């Protein structure tokens, strides 16, 4: 077996630049190993990971329970396609449905695929159950959303970089302001062709915007009033990231005490991905009850890899880690501590305006405009000081470490972040 040669950081970056499509702008660090909350570059330098692969690695890098489940299954059976049954998919579907409180699960691979799946289910439900005339269904979305980059999804994005020169765009979407319940009520009241409302419980890519208290519960109530499906994209906010099993958590079966007393905002359609596999394998899913999911029949939708034995086995292991290690509770506790400690610095800072977030999904806003390079420069300095994070929207830095982080490690990271920011005062 050929062993890949060990490259320097410069060599690895040069190879990607020459042979890879330039569809990302990575921070200049080349990683080769990860364990828990840490990653190492090819020269052996150790870093705290404060991005977690955009919340895919909530359970920490290379969690042994997840890796063992994956490798053991990979030696037994990897893929059958859905032309045949396999002995793992049904067990996974049952486990996830009981955990999240739904009747059925439709397995896919990536977050964008799951969003596309949810949109198709919603439209089919609109025509066959709600009675909207065919091809007239519309779905309400929020400005500054991020649900992926497929042609349909960018059609309702207002990110110019994602949209420009990729038209023509898919019709059937109405954009409203995020966290504006009056705007949602107005569009539902004045349009009988609305099939669903697609929303991120927290807008992560937009800069970790947390909606006002009660927004999601009021939105769900309006959807019920107007017979519209409430579709929650929890690809990034789900699986314990925000301090609960789901950001919309209200009546799942996780029995996490952080969920008690929270509004009951159960989506009609739930979209999951990323940490559903702990970052070990591409796994995503759409969950809904029978009255919605039963509109999908053989041949309507599918994926060669969706629901394969490795994916099913890995997802069960990843969800069990969340439960058994109380990662939602840890995210809640450490998130409170993180914002409290950073606010002590921000009170007298000229560099940072504010910190916001929920659980261990947080962001700081740099005191500059979106066209500035200051946030990027701060992230380069953080890298030099042993912590990896990435800007979003120019002047915002997102902080989302693995949920297995300890309080001691978190305080060490706060110290790195604060001392780095002081370099820019």
233 contacts 139 by C-beta, under 8 angstroms: no
Q: Give, as one character, the DSSP assignment of residue 214.
A: T
Query: What mean pLDDT is predicted for residues 84-101?
Result: 97
Give the sign of the dihedral formed by CA 405, CA 382, CA 211, CA 106: negative
pLDDT greater than 90 at residue 286: yes
Which of 321, 260, 297 lies closest to 67 in space, CA to CA?
321
313 contacts 73 by C-beta, under 8 angstroms: yes
pLDDT greater than 60 at residue 251: no
Give the orientation angle of helix 309-324 with respect to helix 327-346, to 10 degrees. Answer: 60
Buried b (16+ CB within 10 A) or exposed e, 78-98: eebebeeebebbeebbebbbe
141 contacts 210 by C-beta, under 8 angstroms: no
Q: How far is residue 374's CA from residue 367's CA, in Å, rounded to a whole number?
A: 9
Band (pLDDT 50/70/90 cuts) for residue 104 is: very high
Query: What mean pLDDT is predicted for residues 69-73?
Result: 98
**Per-residue model confidence (pLDDT) at position 262:** 55
Residue of 88, 266, 274, 358 with catalytic role: 274
Q: How far is residue 414's CA from residue 346's CA, in Å, rounded to a whole number?
A: 12
| Percentage above 70 pLDDT, the chain | 96
Between the CA of residue 371 and those of 24, 146, 285, 374, 425, what are the distances in Å? 18, 20, 36, 9, 19
Q: What is the DSSP string of 307-324?
A: T-HHHHHHHHHHHHHHHH
Q: How far is residue 77's CA from residue 381's CA, in Å, rounded to a whole number?
A: 45
Strand, helix or coil at 245?
coil
Query: What mean pLDDT is predicted for residues 70-75?
Result: 98
Q: What is the DSSP string of 48-97?
A: EESSHHHHTTTT-BT-HHHHHHHHHHHTT-----TTS--TTHHHHHHHHH
Task: Give catalytic status of residue 100 as yes or no.
Answer: no
Angle at 226 between CA 133 and CA 273, to 5 degrees: 85
* Secondary structure element (H or E) that encloses residue 46, with its range: strand 46-49
**What do you get for the CA distance between the two ends of the chain, in Å?**
53
Residue of 100, 146, 173, 338 with catalytic role: 146
Which of 168, 158, 156 lies closest to 116 in space, CA to CA?
156
Instruction: Specify the higher pLDDT residue, 1 or 264.
Output: 264
pLDDT (tens digit per residue) in 185-206: 999 999 999 999 999 999 999 9
Query: What mean pLDDT is predicted for residues 75-97?
Result: 97
Task: Give catalytic status of residue 274 as yes or no.
Answer: yes
Q: Tokens 């052996």 appear where?
A: 44
pLDDT greater than 50 at residue 46: yes
pLDDT greater than 60 at residue 261: no
Task: Give catalytic status of residue 146 as yes or no.
Answer: yes
Q: Give me Rg for the CA atoms of the chain.
A: 21
Band (pLDDT 50/70/90 cuts) for residue 264 is: confident
Residue of 41, 49, 233, 268 with catalytic role: 233
The model's pTM is 0.96
**Per-residue model confidence (pLDDT) at position 1:** 39
> How confident is the prediction for the chain on average, in pLDDT?
95
| Percentage above 90 pLDDT, the chain | 93
Query: What mean pLDDT is predicted for residues 130-144?
Result: 97
pLDDT (tens digit per residue) in 289-314: 999 999 999 999 999 999 999 999 99
352-358 sheet: strands from edge to edge: 352-358, 361-366, 396-399, 390-392
- β-partners of residue 233 are 271
* Secondary structure element (H or E) that encloses residue 288, with its range: strand 284-288
What are the residues whose beta carbons fall under 8 Å from the beta carbon of 62, sequence distance 6 or more?
34, 35, 280
pLDDT (tens digit per residue) in 344-401: 999 999 999 999 999 999 999 999 887 889 999 999 999 999 999 999 888 999 999 9
Query: What mean pLDDT is predicted for residues 251-276?
Result: 76
Band (pLDDT 50/70/90 cuts) for residue 285 is: very high
């Amino acid at each position: 077996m050929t062993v890949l040669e060990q490259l320097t950081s410069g060599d690895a970056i040069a190879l990607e630049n020459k042979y890879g499509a330039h569809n990302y702008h990575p921070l200049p660090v080349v990683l080769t190993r990860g364990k828990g909350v840490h990653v190492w570059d090819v020269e052996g330098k150790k870093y705290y990971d404060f991005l977690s692969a955009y919340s895919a690695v909530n359970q920490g890098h290379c969690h042994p329970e997840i890796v063992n489940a994956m490798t053991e299954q990979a030696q037994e059976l990897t893929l059958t396609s859905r032309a045949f049954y396999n002995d793992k998919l049904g067990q996974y579907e049952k486990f996830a449905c009981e955990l999240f409180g739904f009747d059925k699960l439709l397995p896919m691979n990536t977050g964008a695929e799951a969003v596309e799946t949810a949109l198709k289910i919603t439209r089919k439900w609109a025509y066959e159950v709600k009675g909207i005339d065919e091809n007239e269904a519309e779905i309400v979305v929020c400005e500054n959303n991020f649900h992926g980059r497929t042609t349909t999804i960018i059609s309702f994005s207002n990110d110019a970089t994602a949209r420009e020169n990729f038209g023509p765009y898919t019709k059937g979407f109405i954009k409203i302001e995020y966290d504006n319940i009056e705007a949602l009520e107005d569009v539902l009241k004045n349009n009988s062709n609305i099939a669903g409302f697609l929303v991120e419980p927290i807008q992560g890519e937009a800069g970790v915007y947390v909606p006002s208290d009660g927004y999601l519960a009021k939105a769900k109530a309006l959807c019920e009033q107007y017979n519209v499906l409430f579709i929650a994209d929890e690809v990034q906010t789900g699986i314990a990231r925000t301090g609960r099993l789901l950001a919309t958590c209200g009546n799942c079966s996780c029995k996490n005490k952080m969920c008690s007393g929270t509004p009951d905002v159960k989506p009609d359609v739930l979209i999951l991905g990323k940490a559903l596999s702990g970052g070990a394998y591409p796994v995503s899913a759409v969950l809904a009850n029978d009255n919605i999911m039963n509109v999908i029949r053989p041949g309507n939708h599918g994926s060669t890899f969706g629901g394969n034995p490795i994916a099913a086995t890995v997802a069960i292991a990843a969800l069990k880690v969340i439960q058994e290690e109380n990662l939602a509770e840890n995210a809640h506790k450490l998130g409170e501590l993180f914002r409290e400690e950073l606010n002590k610095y921000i009170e007298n800072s000229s560099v940072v305006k504010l910190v916001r977030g929920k659980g261990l999904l947080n962001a700081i806003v740099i005191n500059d405009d979106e066209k500035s390079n200051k946030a990027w420069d701060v992230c380069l300095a953080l890298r030099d000081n042993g912590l990896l994070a990435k800007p979003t929207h120019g002047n915002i830095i997102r902080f989302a470490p693995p949920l297995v982080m300890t309080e001691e490690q978190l305080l060490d990271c706060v110290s790195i972040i604060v001392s780095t920011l002081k370099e820019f005062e």
